Amino acid sequence: MNSLKYIKAQDLYKCIKNGYKTPSNIKGYSKTDPTSTVDIGEGEDVIIVDMRGEDFIGGHIKGCINIPYSEFRRYDSEKGDYINIYNFVKNNIIARESKNINIIFHCAMSQQRGPSAALVLSRFLQEEDYENLINEKNINIMVLYKGFINWQQEYGKDEDVTEGYSNFIWG
C-alpha cells in the first residue's frame, strides 16, 4: 500500500460486467512509475466508492457506494474516532468472506477526493488494530483514473454499468 495505484475505466467496466468480480488480466498501476503494478487476481471482489458530495448528480457507476469525502474522514470527537472510516472497514472489508478485495475510489476527476480517500483508508488500515486484518486479507486500494467525468464519456449511456445518467448534465 506504499504507492497509490490506479485502474483504467475499461478495466473497471470489465469488472462490473463480470458481476463485480475481476476478470483475468487486470492490473492496477502507478502514474509515477509505470513498472510498478499490482496484479489483480481473477474473481476477486470489487467495491466502488464514489466520494462526490453535492456533485453526485447526473449519474453514477452502477453498484457504487456514495460517501461524500467530507463525511468519510469526519472525526467524531465524542467517540474519539473516524467512525465513518471504521464503519466502511467493518461493513465492506471485515464482513466479506472474500480474502481478496479491490477497493476503487473516485470522484469527479479523481484528482483530489478519490486519491485522498484512498490514502486515508490505506493509512487507517496500517494502524496496529488492523494488523490481523491485513494479514488475513489481500486488500488492493486503487483510484479510478480520470474519475467519473471520463467514465461518463465512455460509459455514461450504458445502463448496464451507469445508473441515473443525465444527458442534460453531461451532454
Q: What is the pLDDT of residues 80-135, one digit of tens each?
A: 788 899 999 999 999 999 999 999 999 999 999 999 999 999 999 999 989 899 88
Is residue 16 within 8 Å of residue 64, measured between CB atoms?
no
Is the pLDDT higher at 70 or at 35? Answer: 70
Please report the pLDDT score of residue 80 as a whole number. 77
Reported pTM: 0.93
Q: What is the DSSP letter of 128?
A: G
Least confident range of 33-47, 59-73, 137-151: 33-47
Complete domains list, the chain, with CATH = 5-162 (3.40.250.10)
Check whether 72 has a pLDDT greater than 70. Answer: yes
Mean pLDDT, range 34-45, rounded to an integer: 84
Express each pLDDT in 142-169 by its tens digit.
999 999 999 999 999 999 999 999 989 9
Nearest to 7 by CA among 41, 38, 42: 38
Q: What angle do CA 102, 22, 84 make, to 5 degrees?
A: 25
103 CB neighbour count, 10 Å cutoff: 24
- Residue 154 CB burial class (10 angstroms; 0-12, 13-18, ≥19): middle
